[in-house]
Amino acid sequence: MQKHLFLVLMTTMALGCKNKPTEATDAEKQRPNVLFIAVDDLNTMLGSYGGPAKTPNFDRLANMGVQFNDAHCQAPLCGPSRASLMTGLRPSTTGIYGMVPDNQVKSDNPETKDITLLPEYFKQHGYHTMGIGKLFHIHSPEDMFDDSGGRVKGFGPLPSKRFVWDGYGTSNRKKYGKTSTDWGAFPEIDSLMPDHQSVNWAIERLNRKQDKPFFMGVGFLRVHVPLYVPQKWFDLYPLDSIKTMPYRPDDLDDVPAVAKMINDLPMMPSTDWAIESGEWPKIIQAYLACISFVDYEIGRLLDTLEKSDHADNTIIVLWSDHGYRLGEKSTFAKHALWNVATKVPLIFAAPKLPKGKKIDRPAELLSVYPTLLELANLPAYNRNEGKSLVPTMLGNDEKPSFAITTFGMNNHTIKSEHYRYTRYEDGGEEFYDHDKDPNEFTNQVKNATYKDEIKELKKQLPKKNAAWDPNSSYNFQPYFVEQKARGNEISKK
């Protein structure tokens, strides 16, 4: 026994010795670092996506690597989307359809209790892990990172009084929660913004000499509501230059009942209200201002990385947890299985990847986990349900690709290169031809012309529809409260 302990001690000392590293340590040092950037509620209005936002640094990152023009989240809501990306599992597999506390992503859920979360996997393979800001729903499970900058409380700073929106709208205050939605110029300077402080934290660590490869997560709060940033960012977008989104008041007349229930969000501004009040251009102006603020902060990160010792050996991935509607489909929110709510920016840059390449094929955030493992030359994790995008980025994968988004139990949408098919728990369906109808105005599910396309997309629907994880909930929307209460009844259908 003593001999065994002595050998273990000597082996541990040898691995930790800086002067005489072992082969394993040398191999670890050759592995690329990872800069993992999450931006909350960011849709694809970026310049590199052809949008109106002034984003020199998002565009710069796209030119450094590969941009996916048709990437989609696994859930159009922060908590389940991030849980899916970090576990590598679909919401329909885990039952995490709503918000879940960071420390309960694993908990006693039979699918996740023994899962290795994305940052954990890198830690287990010799990486020094660091993280700050919103990476999971709040920050991260306890002890996830070797070096944690912690969560950022709330979405402040906040003015003493809201500028426009009271947070309740026309909702029943006892039945619905209160949204933090509001818009206006606040505070006076960038340094008061939590995201600026998070980048300061990350910059200090990027300038450190590292003995091991690192995994650094930086989670931005903006462009999550309230849409508050300093006035200088609003000044980039004069109101008379703002164009509002395509909108038809009768747009929802041909969608199923469940789609309308999910879209029943009276606490949020409606598009009709925004038109009548004249606030629609102002909301878009504020959203664009927030994007440009985040763009500036990302530029600070990229500048630091390029000047550091890690410039030539760092993988960068940038993603958003879901899209965001700015008046499309009658409201200002995510919360839907339509394209503008599921479509997200997704950009990879790495030493061996092409530069300035854009890919139009559908992709999933579920692929972030296995893609990072392949780019870092780490063993594949057999629990991942997504597929690595490395072959696609290198031009070696011509198979048809699909992106699946789930919102609540047994509500799924499938995005192919040209079409979107959606089926809800009540059997209601939607089908859109994006070549002819990119705004998804006309539901073509009953059009016999598309029967073969619909049949093929139906084959992609998840076979498993797990019951709601008991630790996951979404009380903001009555439909999901009721659905969870029905529990396992739906899974038996």
C-alpha 230: how far from chain center: 24
Q: Would you state the structure tokens that stand for residue 363, as one six-digit string?
A: 């992709």
Q: Does 137 participate in catalysis according to the annotation?
A: yes
Tell me the one-letter amino acid at 54. Answer: K
* Helices 56-64 and 280-307, packing angle to 10 deg: 50
Neighbour-count burial for 401-412, b at 16+ CB within 10 Å, e otherwise: bbbbbbbbbbbb
Whose CA is closest to 331, among 162, 164, 170, 475? 170
Tell me the one-letter amino acid at 245. Answer: M
Kindly list the structural domains of the chain, giving each domain's residue range(s) and its CATH number in brackets, ordered by start: 30-492 (3.40.720.10)
Residue-wise pLDDT tens for the chain (493 aa)?
Answer: 443 433 333 333 333 333 333 344 566 668 999 999 999 999 999 999 999 999 999 999 999 999 999 999 999 999 999 999 999 999 999 999 999 999 999 988 999 999 999 999 999 999 999 999 999 999 999 999 999 998 877 788 999 999 999 999 988 766 777 899 999 999 999 999 999 999 999 999 999 998 999 999 999 999 999 999 999 999 999 999 999 999 999 999 999 999 999 999 999 999 999 999 999 999 999 999 999 999 999 999 999 999 999 999 999 999 999 999 999 999 999 999 999 999 999 999 999 999 999 999 999 999 999 999 999 999 999 999 999 999 999 999 888 999 999 999 999 999 999 999 999 999 999 999 999 999 999 999 999 999 999 999 999 999 999 999 999 999 888 899 999 998 756 545 5
Per annotation, catalytic residue among 128, 137, 310, 412: 137
* Cα separation, 68 vs 183, whole angstroms: 30
C-alpha 208: how far from chain center: 28
* Cα separation, 349 vs 315, whole angstroms: 6
* Cα separation, 171 vs 449, whole angstroms: 41
Per annotation, catalytic residue among 72, 73, 78, 412: 78
Q: Would you state the structure tokens that stand for residue 68, as one six-digit string?
A: 């996916």
Q: Is there a contact between 220 and 37 (Cβ–Cβ < 8 Å)?
A: yes
